[in-house]
Amino acid sequence: MKPKIAQVVVGLPVEGPFDYLIPDVWPTPQPGQRVHVSFQNRGRVAYVVKLCPQSEVPVARLKPLLEVLDEAPSVDQYMLQVTHALAQYYGCSWGEAIEAALPAALRIKRIFASSVAATSPASEIPAQQTIFCHDLSGRRQWGFLQSQIEGAVAKQMAVIWLVPEVLMIPKVCTALKAWGYRDVAVLDKALTAKEELAHWSGIKIGESRIVVGTRSAVFAPVRRLGLIIITDEENLAFKQEQSPFYHARKVAEIRQQVEGGNLLYVSAAPSVELWASMKGNERSETQWKEIPAQQMGRLQLIDLANYKPGKRTIIAFPLQNMIIDTLARSEKIVLWFNRRGFSTLTKCNQCAHIIKCERCDVHMAYQDSRKQLVCYLCDHAIPLPERCPGCGGVYLRSLGSGIERLESEVARIFPQARVTRFDKETSRIPRNADIIVATQAVLRILPELSVALVGVLSIDTELSRIDYRAAQRVFSLLVYLRQVARDKVVVQTHHIEHYALRCARDLDFIGFYQQELGLRKEMGFPPFCHWITLMIRGKVRDEAYNVALKLHESLNQQRASAEWEVLDLQPDFVPKLRDKYRFHIMLKGPSVPQMLAGIEQAVKVAKRKKDVIVTVNVDP
DNA sequence: AGCACGCCGACT
DNA sequence: GTCGGCGTGCTC
């Protein structure tokens, strides 16, 4: 019998699905199709997820579908399953997950002409394999990747290649063209809505079978998925920092489970989680591809306990000497210093007033390049006041050192060198400089520069981050720098014995990951458990705090007999951002679904309070 | 998310 | 007497 009811979901934080009548004279819509409905008396785009002969809801209370928006489903059968699993894992609604997977242009009620052929029903799911390519050379992975791609293409299957950074896309496209592939499409959220839709449609109708893109490209609507490549898997850019807070790796895993095909990670120093999971699988020839380094910069550690940089410079003397040597050979130097601006704070010498960002409550740093005080959190800028806002005096002074101060200092110490600075604001690649003073933004362009010496000045700040991944990030960073530095990488530190530094120096991968996994196990950190962060934020501090407090209380009651635990309620690492006060509660336990089920009710209650926003971040 | 319903404070 | 605050509940 012809189905009478279409079950739909919407891109709101409401569960559903909701039943709608299919008007008699209509042809039956298909699951995955976009429809227009009246939801709560307002027009909305919704997504058909299922058809059924009848509804639990009395017919009198059912509304009809108003319109079917496209000829063919926007979401195929596989992607319906994938988004459903995604919603389950990350604790969002199915509709929200579907919208995360679709181009933004499809969220509005407009018919998009598409000659998409109906999706072929599930034939057999292709064999699947997960491969890790540990490429220390940073270069010779390309041949291996080419053969893997060719393997998929030969079977008429599609390839998705994810990179962490938009700037890496052209390089990948160039390589693919050189290998003779013409049907390559780019997907990235930086595209305009129109371009995004055009590229997406091209992939959907099978014009492009190779997709290159950043995080969101993991949802590319390819038909026969043969291979997903994830380059630099450890990069934090693969995690979305807004709802639904998904990680591209997790989505790739779900897609592989649902659609089959291979999953290929490429990295010189992957996340501890990936290393552990690949080690768990027998390290066979096919699953683990080891590419040794041919040439790599040496790593040298300078103990700041022995070489105290003077009051006037933060560059230790041995490093200064190496810079002089490198300059004498007319070679290029990068000095890594992860702090933007000129100063870190601006203070009145008369009344000790410190200028803070009015929206975020943090010190504002003077940026000489903009001649303004800038907040490093929200980028809010104000002119440097002539008089102190506290006492009206004229004794405002800039303290601490940011990258701009370092730049002028370096120029003073090495007058023979052309010194320039590279940070987030810099757009041109500084090819003509001898010394480039740079923040971590330089990572994006480092392969383009031919650098002999990299001096890392601020690794101690990175090591002391309150983040369980700090050691791994330092290790990955240093290994990466060794790949791009022709001669050597010099790290000055107070933590000369730190295992992340020593293992990076000795290229001791086994040692690093073993030690790190040991610590993670001891501390009960991932991958030995899962974390969920609940963030509570609001404009009125007390309101946000009270909601957080109540939520924390009811979570504590909830978990009395459960396997998971609730950590203390705390101000977030960023306690105030853009006029909103932020608190977070961390949960820790072996099973994400179990934790989500346990907190669902309490979170729902907390979300009811208006002016306070509660978000759930799984595997933060 | 948004919006309607419903119950208590200061006002033309 | 009423206008309107926001806590509570629901969306087929």
pLDDT in tens, A418-476: 999 998 878 788 889 999 999 988 988 888 889 999 999 999 999 999 899 999 999 99
Which bases of chain B come closer than 7 Å to a protein CB? Answer: 1-3
Q: How far is the CA of A572 from the C1' of C7 (A)?
A: 27
The answer to whether the beta carbon of residue A20 comes closer than 7 angstroms to any atom of strand C is: yes
What pLDDT is recorded for position A562? 78
| Residue A117, pLDDT above cutoff 60 | no
Q: How far is the CA of A358 from the C1' of C6 (A)?
A: 29
Band of residue A119 on the pLDDT scale cut at 50, 70, 90: low
CA distance A258 to A125: 8
Band of residue A282 on the pLDDT scale cut at 50, 70, 90: low
Q: How far is the CA of A602 from the C1' of B8 (A)?
A: 27
Residues in A 322-341 whose C-beta is less than 7 A from nucleic strand B are none
What pLDDT is recorded for position A120? 58
CA distance A459 to A501: 9
Which of the given ranges, A108-117, A197-206, A559-568, has the highest pLDDT on average? A197-206
Closest CA to A9 of A30, A26, A28, A34: A34
| Residue A109, pLDDT above cutoff 90 | no
pLDDT in tens, A330-341: 999 999 998 776
Residues in A 60-119 whose C-beta is less than 7 A from nucleic strand B are none
Per-residue pLDDT, averaged over A145-152, amounts to 97
The answer to whether the beta carbon of residue A613 comes closer than 7 angstroms to any atom of strand B is: yes
CA distance A192 to A204: 18
Per DSSP, the three-state class of A405 is helix
Q: Which residue is nearest to nucleotide C8 (CA to C1')?
A: A608
CB atoms inside a 10 Å sphere around CB A294 = 10
CA distance A177 to A453: 33
CA distance A209 to A203: 6
The answer to whether the beta carbon of residue A40 comes closer than 7 angstroms to any atom of strand B is: yes
Q: Which residue is nearest to nucleotide B2 (CA to C1')?
A: A40
What pTM did the predictor assign? 0.94
Per DSSP, the three-state class of A6 is strand
Token match 């992957």: residue? A270
Q: How far is the CA of A610 from the C1' of B12 (A)?
A: 30
A352/A562: higher pLDDT: A352
Task: Find out whether A587 and A595 touch, Cβ atoms under 8 Å.
Answer: yes
Q: How far is the CA of A552 from the C1' of B2 (A)?
A: 26
Q: How far is the CA of A608 from the C1' of C9 (A)?
A: 10
Cα–Cα distances (Å) from A207 to A116, A181, A199, A222, A342, in that order, read: 11, 12, 9, 10, 50
Band of residue A3 on the pLDDT scale cut at 50, 70, 90: confident
Phi-psi region of A103 (alpha: psi -120 to 50; beta: other; left: phi over 0): beta
Residues in A 9-28 whose C-beta is less than 7 A from nucleic strand B are 12-14
